[in-house]
Structure 1
Amino acid sequence: MKRSSPGAKEATHDRIVEAAARAIRRSGYNGTGVADIMKAAGLTHGGFYAHFESREAMLAEAADRAGRESVELMERIAAVTPPDQALQRMAQAYLSKEHLESIETGCATAALGSEMPRQVPAVRRAATRRIKEMIDLVSRQMPDWGQPSAHERALATVSVMVGALILARAVDDPRLSDALREAALKQLSVPAN
C-alpha cells in the first residue's frame, strides 16, 4: 500500500476544506454531506476519516476557512486604498452586485448566520473568531480607532453590511435587492458603485 507524503496529505486536506467551505456557503451546514464534499474535492468518501475525526470537525475547519477568506478580502482592499477611503471601498465591495451573486465564495456570515445557533460549539467558535476579526478590521478604519466609539460604530457597520446582504439575497425582486444594498451604503455614508 502506497503512503502519501506529509505535504501531499496536507494538500489533500486543504482541498477538502476548500470544497467544504464552498459547499457550506452554497447549501448550508445541513445541506452539506461528506460524500458530496469528497466528490467535489476529487476524492472518495472512504478517505474522509484519514483527514477528520468527524463531520463536525470538518465543518469547523470549513467555517474557519470561509470566514478567513472574507476577512482577507477586506484586508486586501484596506491595504491598497488610502486610509480615509478604505471603509468606503470595503463597504462598496461587500455590498456589490458581484458579492451578492457570489454566495459560495462570499461572506460566510451572510450565507450562514441564521444557521449558527444550531451548530456545534467548534463551528460557532470558528465563526465567532472571524466575525470579531471583521469587526476589528472595520474598527481600524475609523478615524477615532482605539476609542470605544470606533468599536461601537464598527459593530453597527458590520451589522448593517451583513444584514443588507442577507436581505438583498433573500428577495426575488432585483430592484428591491439593489435598493437594500444602496440604502445600506447610504446609511453608512458610503456612495454606491
Structure 2
Amino acid sequence: MGRVSQAQAQENRQRVVATASRMFREKGTAVSVADLMKAAGLTHGGFYKQFASKEDLVDEAVAHAFDDPAAHSAAALEEHEAARRTLIEHYLSVWHRDHAGDGCPVSGFAADLGREPGQAARARHVYNNGVRNLAARLATGDDDGMAQFCTMVGALVLARATRGNPLSEELLQAARTALTESGTGQSEPQQCTD
C-alpha cells in the first residue's frame, strides 16, 4: 500500500481527534487505542504515526471538545435571559443525558480528569477555561453562574448514572425548575424535614 499524502494524513488525524473526543466523553479515556482507531476507520498502527502517546491524544480531544460548537448550545445569539434558559433546557434534556459523546465536554471529561491528576497541563488548562466560560454564560447580575453550572453538571451526571429509572428524569426536571423558576438559579433555602 502506498504512502498517504500530507493532506490525507491531516484529515486522518482530525478524524481520530474528533472520534476520540466523542468516545472519551461517552466511555471515558480508558477506551483502548485499538477500539478508537477502529471507530475512526483506521488501523491501530496508524495511531503512532500521528500521536506520540495516548495522553497527547487526550489533550487534543479535550481541546477539540471545547472548540466544537456542536458541544454547546447556540443560544448566545438570543438575548441573555432567553439564551440562558435555552442553555439550561438543552443541557438538562433527556437527549443530552443519552448522547454523552456529542454533549458537554465538562460533564463528559469530569470523571477522567478527576481520576488523572497528572493529566497533561494542556488538557487541564483547556478544561478549566471551558468550565469558566460555560459558567459565565449563565451569569446573572451579581451571580457569576458557577453554582448554576455546578447544578447543571451534577444533575446531568446523576441523571446519566440513574438512566432507566424514573429518578433520572426527576433529577433533570428538578434542576431545570430550580434554575429557571426564579430567573437567577437562586432559590429560597428550603427547610429539611428529615
Q: Same fold by TM (over 0.5)? A: yes
Contact persistence 1:70–1:108 (CA under 8 A):
no
User: Residues 135 and 67 from structure 1, CA distance in 2 versus in 1: closer, same or farther, beyond 3 angstroms?
Assistant: same
Contact persistence 1:66–1:108 (CA under 8 A):
yes
Contact persistence 1:95–1:181 (CA under 8 A):
yes
Q: Which residue of the partner structure matches residue 179 of structure 1?
A: 170
Q: Which residue of the partner structure matches residue 77 of structure 1?
A: 75
Q: Distance in 2 between matches of 1:116 and 1:109?
A: 10
Q: Which residue of the partner structure matches residue 25 of structure 1?
A: 25
Deviations for 1:89-112, whole angstroms, at most 9, x for unmatched residues? Answer: 001000011101102211232233
Instruction: Extract unaligned runs of 5+ from structure 2.
Output: 183-194
1:139-178 alignment, distance < 5 Å: 139-144=136-141, 149-151=142-144, 154-178=145-169
Deviations for 1:162-190, whole angstroms, at most 9, x for unmatched residues? Answer: 00000011114532111111111122125
Q: What displacement does 1:137 show?
A: 4.1
Higher helix share: 1
Instruction: Extract unaligned runs of 5+ from structure 1.
Output: none
Normalised to the residue count of structure 1, the TM-score between the two structures is 0.82
Normalised to the residue count of structure 2, the TM-score between the two structures is 0.81
Residue correspondences, number: 181
Q: Distance in 2 between matches of 1:185 and 1:128?
A: 29
Q: Which residue of the partner structure matches residue 48 of structure 2?
A: 49
1:120-131 alignment, distance < 5 Å: 120-122=118-120, 125-131=122-128
Q: Secondary structure at the match of 2:102?
A: coil
Deviations for 1:69-89, whole angstroms, at most 9, x for unmatched residues? Answer: 378523x2222x222311010
Q: Which residue of the partner structure matches residue 130 of structure 2?
A: 133
